[in-house]
Chains A and B, each alone.
Chain A
Amino acid sequence: MRISHEWLTALLGPLPAPDDVARILTQQGLEVEALELRGAGLLGAVVAEVAKLEKVTERLTRVTLRTAGGEAVCVTGARNLSPGNRVPYAPPGAQLPDGRTLEVAELHGVPSHGMLLSADEIGIGPDHDGILILPQNAPVGDDVAHWLGLPDAVYEIGLTPSFAQHCQSARGIAQELAAPLGLRLPAAASESLAPREEAPRVTVDDPELSPLYAGIWLVRTAQVETPLWMRRRLWSCGMRSVSPIVDLTNYVMLEVGQPMHPFAQEKIQGGIHVRCAAAGERLLTLDGEERALDPSDIVIADARGAVAIAGVMGSARAEVDEATDRVFLESALFSARRVGRTMRRLGLRSEAAQRFAHGLAADLPLRAVARVRELAPEVGWQALPGGLTVGGVAPEAAPIRVEAAYVRTLLGLDLTAERQAAALESLGFSVDVTEDGLRVRAPRDRIDVRGACDVAEEVLRAVGIDRVAAVLPPPAPAVAEPEIYGLRRSALGAFMALGYRVAVSYSLVDPELLARIGQPAEVTIANALSGDLAALRTTLRLGLLQAVARNLARGVGEIALCEAGRVFHRQGGEVLEEESLGFTLCGPRAPLSRFGQQPVDFFDLKGDLEAALSALRVSDVEMRAGSDAALHTGRQAEVFAAGRRLGSIGEVHPDIAEQLGISERVLIGEISLQAVLASERPLVARPLPRYPALVRDVALVVDEQLPYDEVRREVADVLGGLLAADALFDVFVGAPVPPGKKSLALRLWLRSPERTLAEADAEEALANLLRRLGDRFGAHLR
């Protein structure tokens, strides 16, 4: 909502400077988002009278002006001048708000001394086609800026939904400003409409559609322009001046908040019918669009069909035009819910619809017609006595009972009942203080005030939120926190320690890409913004691979990224949200240097995961060759901890990588954090060993195809509690190892928890081991 300082002053009397007004409004909850100074910088322009007009060319006119000092001549392209008009004249040396300084110019050989100004050039309105014609009472020679009261501040106010109910009007905002300044907004008139004889029959199908449908008739009495003061206020609110009767309607809407609709009376056939739109009904609205209507829309119809979408927009068929001299002005209430729904469906956020959608006071239509009747003569129209009403004004709601102690507790302010009542009265409420508290009646416009907490908020706004002290609340008993939160932090921490950067990807992804990487969407969005945000992710892989592709495209290498977040699955009718951890490597591990640069491979990723899992106290980790179609057939593994599946790691299949725009080898892994949580070992220290270990190295020759893990499991099985630690420190293929065989070099640390091992113990253990490995795998010492 935009409102000018000039208009607020007209309603309330003298006000503080615009900066202060903006601050006060903001503190009242009407956030001033911008403050515009209109007409600032207009210097030296004066009121002049048009004395004589002479054509210079088809397009240009030479204007002789009467000024305070005598005569002046200038040339203009405007065509709206007549002799005797009072106009704003900027002589040479005058300055315009856009920064221009005027000079003597020559147009088609005719010298022009300065120029005549349009509303746009002065900075008060959008009109730039014609010269701004000033009222005849503007004294020749007066400074234009001074006479127009420039510069004028315009406040642009961001309205919250609660304020939108009563502050989409000059009076509503003035009421809010009046309270903190201790000013009074004069009450507005209202009227009950005596029925007129010649009124057409109005039928309202259901009071739910329109609890109050009222209207008056107006006739044109004179051909005049909309007065400048009214046009200026329309302009300052961001509206255009259209015609006197439309301007009047809009002006009263801006002043009191009631949208009204003028119908050209001769275009209405028979009675008026307020009903729901029929299925398949269509209407050509004023903006030239043909609209398909829905049975939940309310329409205003005459004998020939719909003439307006109620509360949203009229149609061309009943539009007021230049020839119209008799108008039926509708001033009604329409269902806020229905108008809001229609407005959203059609994308027609008209000034009227936005007001109806927020809801209006039950008696507002009658206050609005009273104001129209008052102002009509100013625009050359006259309202005929009486009018029509269908339905009625809902009675005022019962007073709200509020305990003073409740307000004190809620606000943390020590206010007596009397002090609370005074605060409310400053906002236009009426209050009775009784034994058990306050009985509060809100102004009719405050349909947002329904309960005790609403009343408390009004008290708070009136006394000022700054009066509340800042106090820490007393503590509450501790409750258990979800474990997953800490795990997510430590899992990311482990990967960060390994050199990974933390990524954050959209959880909305392209279902086609999910399908392509073999993890099709399970939860899709009914009203997605676009195809690439149409499904919830089933895996973190996609976001990470897209991040890899983006970084490569930008020439960024040495990629190590990890991400923690939820993935979404369906199980029966339910959506299952699982906490997941993804990680990816691509390109060399470290930047280019004299120490050489190795591209990462499967074992980098595997080593990282092993380290991270060990940091997370997950033991008994086992990785088995996997068969995920999105991964390299021979370079992937499924990850288990104590038999529970955690996830998988691997090199991305080259075809998939290519489809995602990645031409390098890229490694990816993903594990379920919930599975990790279930596998976590408690943090309890083991006693330190008491006896020394014996170290033995063995080089075994086995079949080249034999997975190492099988050997290792056998070693652990045979040596049992004697095996303190082991390491594989060489894998060798080639002569002198026979073809088809490989040599595995292991270092074994043997230790007994009970005594110092003798050489003979070690020899015996190794002999057993070699015998078993020989039997199982045909292994022998190298």
Chain B
Amino acid sequence: MLDVEALRGEALRDIAAAVDEAQLEQARIEWLGRKGPIADALRGIKNAPPDERRELGLALNRVRDALESAMEERRAALKASSVTARLAREALDVTLPGRPRAIGGPHPLQLAEDALVDALHALGFQLADGPEVESEELNFEALNIPADHPAREMHDTFFVEGHPGYVLRTHTSPVQIRAMRRHAPAPLRVVTVGRVYRRDDDVTHSPVFHQMEGLAVGEGLGMQHLKGTLYGLCRAIFGQDVRIRLRPSYFPFTEPSAEVDIGCVFCGGDGCRICKGTGFIEILGSGMVHPHVLREGGYDPARHTGFAFGVGVERIAMLRYGVDDIRLFFQSDLRLLRQF
């Protein structure tokens, strides 16, 4: 008579003793295989006395189920411990430096330019463009700066060799005339940004620099709209809490004209070396478009008014990023660029 309980005990010991998948498989073949003792015993049931057959069959099936589930448990346990072992083997010193990747980045002037243009886009202005080699007519005369006008002194001009009547534009304002001539008499909101040139070279002046300029023309535009636009622009660039001051000034192409100051970003308005103790720093020039300029642009000054404003991109970048020498912007020194 087969001792079912002994068989079960011995098989369970074998299963428990298996240390890897292979041994476990070995045990499965040995105990549960077609030639194993359980299969043998099941085949031999027909030789047992009829009244024991049923009992024996049930007992053998219980053992087989028990062994199968023990085997499943053991398989899971073995798998778990082998993953753990692999992970342990593969541990790294996570404090070692990562694989270095060179990352790119923008130029501070580009950042300042994008901030200005984005702010004006949001205020409904659209980009316009013009050449850097510009006619004297558009750079000066059309903008109400005739020859011998004192304002021409403020624009020390580069002239183009062998191309009489052409200069390197001293400001982005000629784009105003170009945009007006293209779109007059439709209402206009344009912004332009680009390089300008002056015969000047020191810590605060560079012979090549960038300006951004906005222009609005239409019926019924007044100083209040200029002020609203400038407030929007200054808040976008210097934050919602920036203090803004307009004071009367002079530009040949606007009348009335106003210089725009913001509360000094370095001392918060208490007075410091940068703001010369005034608590304010000058950031842009603006005004109502001069009737002469409107006429040059093809608008009727009796019907249309407009406002314009211009800002030095370098100046904004210097204020926003604390760069104190304008020449640094043109040196492509990676020690500076990698900070942006």
Contact = CB atoms under 8 A, between A and B. Distances in A.
A joins B in a complex? yes
Contact of B104 (A161, A412, A496, A524): A496
A429 B208 CA distance: 43
A478 B224 contact: no
Name the residue in B158, B220, B252 with the highest tally of chain A Cβ atoms < 10 Å from its Cβ. B158
B258 interface: yes
A469 B257 CA distance: 16
A561 B185 CA distance: 44
Interface stretch (A133-141, A272-280, A391-399, A448-456): A448-456
B172 interface: no
Interface in B238-270: 246-250, 252, 255-259
Interface string A461-502: 100011011111111111101101100010010011111111
Given A473-B189, A500-B104, A26 B232 contact: no
Interface stretch (B1-9, B40-48, B61-69, B123-131): B123-131
Interface string B122-163: 011011110111000000000000001111011000111111
Contacts of A471: 224-225, 227-228
A162 B100 contact: no
Contacts of A533: 207
A565 B110 CA distance: 12
Nearest to B200: A529
Interface residues of A, number: 101
Contact of A470 (B100, B228, B331): B228
A502 B161 contact: no
B107 A411 contact: no
A107 interface: no
A31 to B, nearest CB: 7
Contact of B197 (A163, A466, A508, A544): A508
Contacts of B166: 575
Contacts of B163: 523, 573, 575
A529 B104 contact: no
A482 B228 contact: no
Interface stretch (A305-313, A434-442, A551-559): A551-559
B180 to A, nearest CB: 12
A473 B102 contact: no
B227 A502 contact: no
B190 A479 contact: yes
Interface residues of B, number: 90
A150 B334 CA distance: 53
Contacts of A474: 218
B39 interface: no
A160 interface: yes
Contacts of A565: 195
Contact of B335 (A457, A554, A589): A554
Contacts of A472: 123, 225, 228-229, 232
B60 interface: no
B182 to A, nearest CB: 8
Contact of A454 (B187, B189, B227, B255): B255
Interface string A148-167: 00000000000011111000
B105 to A, nearest CB: 6
B247 A410 contact: no
A749 B47 CA distance: 66
Contact of B132 (A452, A453, A454, A577): A577
B126 A460 contact: no
Contacts of B195: 507, 565-566
Given A471-B224, A503-B332, A556-B333, A34 B276 contact: yes
Contacts of A590: 100-102
Given A504-B330, A551-B332, A561-B332, A28 B248 contact: yes
Contact of B250 (A29, A33, A492, A529): A29
Contacts of A357: 150
B129 A485 contact: yes
B329 to A, nearest CB: 6
A476 B184 CA distance: 12
A461 B251 CA distance: 15
A495 B248 CA distance: 44
Quick one: which of A469, A470, A543 has the most chain B CB within 10 A? A470
A704 to B, nearest CB: 34
Query: Which 9 pairs of residues, A with B, have the shortest CB-CB distance?
Result: A412-B224, A29-B248, A412-B222, A160-B250, A547-B332, A457-B256, A496-B104, A503-B332, A473-B225
14 contacts: A31-B259, A408-B222, A409-B305, A410-B305, A457-B255, A471-B225, A471-B227, A481-B127, A501-B334, A507-B195, A508-B197, A508-B207, A527-B158, A575-B163
Given A470-B228, A593-B97, 9 more contacts: A452-B291, A456-B288, A476-B218, A482-B129, A507-B132, A523-B133, A525-B159, A550-B333, A594-B97
